[in-house]
């Protein structure tokens, strides 16, 4: 098992982040991203397709870990963020999809208009086919966790994702209970999953990301 903390996976350790020459490859595709030490932030609440691409070779079993902190932007009743994994061909501009990949998405929407998206807090899994085409694979309501989230909105929330590009199993762990997780399987047609990029994205919200 390759155990890779998110920012270690992408940028090297926080201690050596800016000591490396050059900094590991990344591309600011859309939105307003910036680094400050070991923290990455996206501070444009109007950006609906904010995205940053990182060059990360991925195959077989992977672990992604990172913390997310809410900064601003959900006053309009909508906001979300997610991670495209096993990306084969990212687009360095605004795009709905990210080549062939899978998007793990956390969404808050008080009035969703897309069929299959629950009202309130929810999570989605999308199968990305191209930079402009995605399919909804799974959608679940997380509204029962909303009160706890609101109580801790000023604190970083840890996330852990395990994805096996060979078997197709993906586990997204409960931030409040390390022994509980939601899982799904990548479509057999896509196995084995390999990719050289990870795409981190936000929608209508300001967030900061840090390594654990």
The DSSP-derived string for 50-75 is EEEEEEEEEESEEEEEEEEEEEE-GG
Chain-centre distance for alpha carbon 125: 11
Prediction pTM value: 0.89
Give the up-direction half-sphere exposure of residue 78: CA atoms within 13 A in the CB hemisphere.
13
Q: Sign (positive/negative) of CA torsion 4, 24, 70, 170?
A: negative
**What is the reported pLDDT for 7?**
42
Residue 197 sits at the vertex; the CA angle it makes with 72 and 96, to the nearest 5 degrees, is 55
pLDDT tens for the chain, 212 residues long, are 444 444 434 333 222 332 334 445 889 999 999 998 778 999 999 999 999 999 889 999 999 988 999 999 999 999 999 999 999 999 999 999 999 999 999 999 999 988 889 999 999 999 999 999 999 999 999 999 999 888 988 999 999 999 999 999 999 999 988 899 999 999 999 999 999 999 999 999 999 998 65
Strands 2-5 and 61-72: parallel
**What is the reported pLDDT for 38?**
78
Residue pair 83/111 in contact (Cβ under 8 Å)? The answer is: no
Residue pair 209/200 in contact (Cβ under 8 Å)? The answer is: yes
Q: What is the CA radius of gyration of the chain?
A: 16
**What is the reported pLDDT for 195?**
95
**What is the reported pLDDT for 123?**
96
**What is the reported pLDDT for 25?**
82
Residue pair 166/192 in contact (Cβ under 8 Å)? The answer is: yes
**What is the reported pLDDT for 99?**
96
Residue pair 69/178 in contact (Cβ under 8 Å)? The answer is: no
CATH code given to domain 2-210: 2.60.120.560
């Amino acid at each position: 098992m390759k155990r890779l903390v998110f920012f270690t996976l992408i940028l090297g350790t926080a201690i050596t982040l800016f000591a490396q020459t050059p900094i590991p490859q990344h591309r600011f595709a859309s939105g307003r991203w910036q680094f400050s030490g070991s923290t990455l932030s996206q501070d444009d609440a109007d950006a609906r397709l904010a995205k940053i691409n990182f060059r990360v070779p991925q195959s077989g079993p992977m672990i992604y870990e990172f913390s997310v902190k809410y900064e601003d932007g959900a006053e309009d009743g909508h906001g979300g963020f997610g991670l495209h994994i096993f990306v084969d061909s990212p687009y360095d501009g605004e795009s709905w999809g990210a080549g062939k990949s899978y998007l793990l998405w956390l969404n808050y929407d008080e009035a969703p208009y897309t069929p299959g998206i629950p009202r309130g807090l929810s999570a989605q899994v999308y199968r990305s086919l191209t930079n402009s085409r995605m399919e909804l694979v799974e959608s679940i309501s997380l509204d029962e966790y909303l009160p706890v989230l609101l109580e801790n909105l000023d604190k970083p929330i840890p996330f852990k994702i395990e994805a096996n590009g060979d078997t197709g199993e993906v586990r997204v762990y409960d931030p409040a209970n390390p022994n509980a997780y939601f899982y799904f399987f990548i479509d057999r047609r896509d196995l084995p999953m390999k990719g050289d990029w990870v795409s981190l994205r936000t929608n209508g919200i300001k967030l900061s990301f840090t390594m654990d």
